[in-house]
Amino acid sequence: MSIRVNLNTAPVSYLTEEPPLELIEYSGEFLRAKLPPDWDIQELTNIDGMDDLRTNADYIGLTGINVLKNGETLMQLRGVDGIGGIKVCSELHQFLDTNPSYIENNVLFAREQGLSDPIVVDLSEHDFVEIEILGHDVRKVGDNYYWNNSNSSSEFNPICGDLGSIQELEGLSFSIENTAKPILELYKVTFADNLTDSDFKGD
């Protein structure tokens, strides 16, 4: 079974394979939402919502979001002020619909860097929860979350390591005063520990 949850800013919607729940309106300073009655959103601004920041930077706007169910945090978004370096995957994950060339290209890249071939973990027989977060497809297998690196709806190529959780999220941004790049759209998305499939549904 897969469950799809859409979290979008205009508005946020909530969908599952079960009959739809009666949704309630959320209207904050930056976001409008339709949520199950036991869900809520907290908006964090300025430095309070940052995950990665620079000294003496002045962050302005929506830098973080908490998504809660019955008062408990399900998911957090935190602003990220830049990432750098070249990421070589030491471990790759493969679903039934993962493009074989995606695995092959990552293996070749590791070899070009003089490193060992990545370990390939087969997830093709695993059940997963499917989540959509601001235009990004995410799959939950157990306590692990995998972000899709493909724009194709017919394949799912999991981004390796922690880079998958750092994304430009549609409709979200914050700014930094007195800098060459005043608008940033990078956010790190994390989920609470030990979430079950039912945690992504309203009661």
Place 17 in a pLDDT band, splitting at 50, 70 and 90. very low
Write out the two tokens for 170: 């549609």
Q: Write down the mean pLDDT value for the chain.
A: 82
The closest of 6, 2, 35 to 18, measured between CA atoms, is 2
- Name residues whose C-beta falls within 8 Å of residue 132's C-beta, 6 or more positions apart in sequence: 4, 5, 6, 7, 138
**Bridge partner list, 35:** 24
Write out the two tokens for 87: 């990421």
Q: What is the pLDDT of residue 8?
A: 47
Write out the two tokens for 126: 């695993």
The closest of 166, 154, 123 to 141, measured between CA atoms, is 123
The closest of 114, 157, 112, 113 to 138, measured between CA atoms, is 157
The closest of 139, 149, 138, 135 to 105, measured between CA atoms, is 149
Higher-confidence residue: 50 or 17? 50
Tens of pLDDT, residues 83-117: 766 678 899 999 999 999 999 999 999 999 999 99
pTM of the entire structure? 0.79
CB 146 within 8 A of CB 131: no
The stretch 19-38 carries a mean pLDDT of 82
| Dihedral angle of Cα 153, 158, 162, 167, to the nearest 10 degrees | -10
